[in-house]
Structure 1
Amino acid sequence: MANGITSMAKLIGIPTREDVEVHIDHHYTVVEINLLGKANVRREDVHVMTETTHLLLKLYMPVPESVYSSTRVFKRGQIYSIPFRFIIPHQLTSNVCQYEVQTEAVRSHHLRLPSSLTGFDKDNLATNVTKIQYSVRARVFSIKDGTPEEPLVPILESEHPISILAPSPEDPPLIIDEHDLHYVLKETASVRKNMFSMPTGQITAESSQPQAIRLGLDGHAASSSSAYINIAFRPAAPDMLPPQIKIKSTRVLAQTWASPRPAPSFPNVGGNPCREAITLSTPAIVDSTRTTPWIQHVHILEDEVSERKAGGSRGSRDITVVGNSRSLNESVPITHTCSTQVDFKLPTSSHVFPPTFHSCLISRTYTLEIKIAAGGTLSTAASSDLHGPRRRILSEAFRGGVA
């Protein structure tokens, strides 16, 4: 069998045809055409390899009687064309996820149609350990009188993979707390001139979630986005100047979470991950970076207000009044602040980004990792969700440390 299925299903409906070429005569009764979707997780141990498959989707295409030949015989050397069209659903049926979950929000995600994790003509940052695969399968049956209905063995069979970028609604930003293992909204590090010198101060980077990115229907185009990072430097001595800020790298991390058992929760949030993550990354395309000049903030205690002339901000200096109860190093009542904006895009010319999804066995999430050099290296990251048409990255949170 051969077919005319394209390598990527860009539309919700897939119109095409199935061509059947036979080398010997075949008497048949019926032709069955299915659209199948499966999740596959493979685990390799020292002594054994296990493979778990979860059927996500199985659609039947009715073949009208007008397509069949009057003799119900496929003759040798002839090609028979059977047109078909599938409408890909946005939602899976409820029997796909009948497992115990922590919240109905998790079940709602498990019932969304996940995108393919294999078969694209570009790098989709996935391995062969986990697969979300869709295919069109054609089978020819010859049913004789008196033959039991089950099981039927096809006399001809062929299956052709297709790749789907599934539509997905935008979700609200994640709620992250200090106990979350994957995301940290703020990170602090010591600044040194070199490895052996004393710290010149402490620097803190903090960010909110970046703006969403919209993907095109075919995944080959995407809008740009921006990450905003607020930076504060607390010098160890009044004469210590703030360091120069530089963006060392900006990368997109693709995390594929998988488990042979259905997950009861989202794997990328909370303190107890229910799945293991395989992380692959690629550099983001940085359009521009802008860092504001350092502003010096001088803190004075309330008792000193009457003894000082407080006139607000003047140039690059800002005077702030703090309460006596606050813990403040009176010898260095200075903080320097600045902010950095990183405008970036996804490398869609070389990669395809299946929109973020959470299925029973497999999840795909994305993280934007930004490494900042400030007399050393401070690594931060912002998580993002990709959604299919209307597809966009839904930014989740800011993450510290190595992803």
Structure 2
Amino acid sequence: MHAIGSHLQYRMLQMAHYGQPTIDIELDESQHEANRAIFSYSTMDTIEGKVHITAQHDTHFREIEIAFTGAAHVFVERLTTTPAMSGRTEASHKFLALKMPLNPDDIPSPRILRAGQKYTFPFVFTIPTQLLPRACPHAVASDYVRQTHLMLPPSMGDAELSGFGGILLDDMAPEMAKITYGVKARILQLHEDKLVLLAQKTRKVRVKPAFEEQPPLNTDGNKEFRPRLERNIKKGLFKGKTGTLIAQASQPKPLVIPGARTLDAGPIATRAKVYLRFDPTDENSLPPRLGSLKTSMKASTFYASSARNNFPTRETLIYDHTQGAYTDTISISTMCIGTTAQWEKQPASANPPTEEDIERRDSGISDCSGLSAPSYKSNIPTPSSNYKGGAFYTASIVVPITMPLNKNFLPTFHSCLISRVYALSMNLSVHAPGLGDPTLALKVPLQVCAEGSATGNENARVRSEEAAGILAEADRVLSPRSFAPPTVDLPPEYAALSSRVTVAG
């Protein structure tokens, strides 16, 4: 029975499409490698091609539309203990629609597609640098959130397009979230004073927009990140402690993805720094021996079936059933730091100022400006809560971060429905006299940016120069001009009365 039902469905689809015009979308391959099945474009790139339409029999039509579209599709599975509250919520957001005006000479008159005749319509689109304000009409928490929502998001979640260059790779996106771009051609007919769809076809393309570096994320009060940790180091199982170990890190410089159609891109890398401090309980206590440092990246995709008014966080997942999150962890490296990082003894004068010291210094009067600055280093963490004064120990670790080549990393972005963020996890282990080796797990934000393509950057440069020339010409035309009467020989007493007249033109 199942086979019979499938056959009937197939025959019904054949009958529904029988007699429809055939649409073929051809893309210009001059910017791409030969025989490239995946076409990638970046910001300010031009998408050129032709739409070919062939009718099997004479067909009347009203409109032929060619557009470049971008849309986000999301569904959220809501699973609760109450069956009535469970279910799926879906949302689609069409954030981009560029329509190509057709040449009237290419449109047949009368509007009839003759049987067997091939009609060709060329098109040219330019990938915009940002979206129009109407693409994000909902309420947001700040102007910065609006600004990020109006940035062009990258293609995501399509296994047929995901990858780097001509290689298909996993972009670590769940099936619940997808962002697609494509050139869409439609033929519309007039039926009972209404436009109805006669035929359509979409040619999908991959869009990899340029993303510039954004300000570092403020992690104060954010429970998702742990930029600083303290751990007491004990002498033994039932013995006292030798001191307090402090590990501290900050957000590293971003990883930068090369632009679309880049062939000879080198390794994508950056580096982070971990600063260590050990506050001993007495002068005879020595810092623990350093063990290993394991580094990994976490790619988190947030998706929602309703528009977001702020940046997503995991804390809101508990009570907001219209959003979900998917995280993929990628191992980066494991370093043995016992020989590469060495402890250095520091005097008490090397301590950085505490918040109380800074507030006290800010509240001082101006005649204190002649005092010498304290002799501390900016890479030394502030003292622990157990610090009683005296000497302490410091060390630093440089952590290289190289992006793996077996994944397709998307830039950090936030849209109305979908967001992609990254975090860097660094697990530091040390050797202590007690049972087990203490571990400090740091977690800091990591930003991934993206460059534009060579042709896109050149197009942007030309556009910028043209805009600058237009503004300069407008300033020249609209600038005030002076008009003076002709110079004549006047008596000295009349020359003083001669004045200049200024007219704004």
2:41 match? 10
Query: Does 1:357 find its partner at 2:396?
Result: no
Among residues 114, 133, 137, which one is paired with 1:94 in the alignment?
133
1:263 match? 308
Among residues 336, 341, 346, which one is paired with 2:393 in the alignment?
336
Q: What is the Cα deviation at residue 155 of structure 1?
A: 1.0
Among residues 210, 218, 224, which one is paired with 1:167 in the alignment?
210
Greater helix proportion? 2
Once the two structures are superposed, the pairs formed by residues 3-402 of structure 1 within 5 Å of their partners are 3-5=25-27, 7-11=38-42, 12-20=45-53, 22-46=55-79, 47-69=86-108, 72-74=111-113, 80-119=119-158, 120=162, 121-143=168-190, 147-148=192-193, 150=194, 152-177=195-220, 179-191=221-233, 201-218=243-260, 221=265, 223-235=268-280, 240-268=285-313, 276-284=324-332, 291-297=340-346, 328-329=387-388, 335-347=392-404, 349-374=405-430, 375-389=437-451
Tell me the SS of whatever aligns to 2:259. Answer: coil
1:311 match? none
Out of 60-69 and 131-140, give the one that drifted further: 60-69
Deviations 1:345-384 (A, max 9, x none): 212x322222211111221111122222223322112212
Deviations 1:19-67 (A, max 9, x none): 4455555333432112121122211135522211122111111222333
| Conserved? CA contact 2:291–2:336, under 8 Å | no
Deviations 1:296-332 (A, max 9, x none): 34659xxxxxxxxxxxxxxxxxxxxx9xxx97458xx
| Conserved? CA contact 2:95–2:131, under 8 Å | yes
Q: Output the CA distance in 1 between the equivalents of 2:425 and 2:56.
A: 56
Amino acid at match of 2:401: F
Do the aligned partners of residues 243 and 390 (structure 1) sit closer, same or farther apart at CA in structure 2, a change above 3 Å counting? Answer: farther
Identical-pair percentage = 27
| TM-score relative to the length of structure 2 | 0.62
Tell me the SS of whatever aligns to 1:42. Answer: strand
Out of 271-280 and 36-45, give the one that drifted further: 271-280
Q: What is the Cα deviation at residue 87 of structure 1?
A: 1.0
Amino acid at match of 1:43: V
Q: What is the Cα deviation at residue 281 of structure 1?
A: 2.3
Structure number, greater radius of gyration:
2
Q: Output the CA distance in 2 between the equivalents of 1:16 and 1:250.
A: 45
Q: What is the Cα deviation at residue 286 of structure 1?
A: 8.3
| TM-score relative to the length of structure 1 | 0.76
Tell me the SS of whatever aligns to 2:144. Answer: helix
Tell me the SS of whatever aligns to 2:271. Answer: strand
Q: What is the Cα deviation at residue 389 of structure 1?
A: 2.6
| Conserved? CA contact 1:125–1:281, under 8 Å | no
| Conserved? CA contact 1:14–1:86, under 8 Å | yes
Out of 241-250 and 133-142, give the one that drifted further: 241-250
Do the aligned partners of residues 171 and 247 (structure 1) sit closer, same or farther apart at CA in structure 2, a change above 3 Å counting? Answer: same
Q: What is the Cα deviation at residue 224 of structure 1?
A: 2.0
CA RMSD of aligned residues (A): 3.5
Q: What stretches of structure 2 of length at least 5 have no aligned partner?
A: 1-22, 28-36, 80-85, 163-167, 350-382, 431-436, 454-505
Deviations 1:67-87 (A, max 9, x none): 345665545566544321211
Q: What is the Cα deviation at residue 293 of structure 1?
A: 0.9
Q: What is the Cα deviation at residue 240 of structure 1?
A: 4.9
| Conserved? CA contact 1:250–1:286, under 8 Å | yes
Tell me the SS of whatever aligns to 2:196. Answer: coil
Paired residue total:
359
Q: What is the Cα deviation at residue 219 of structure 1?
A: 7.9
Q: Output the CA distance in 2 between the equivalents of 1:327 and 1:371.
A: 23
Q: Output the CA distance in 1 between the equivalents of 2:174 and 2:257.
A: 22
Q: Output the CA distance in 2 between the equivalents of 1:14 and 1:192.
A: 65
Greater strand proportion? 1
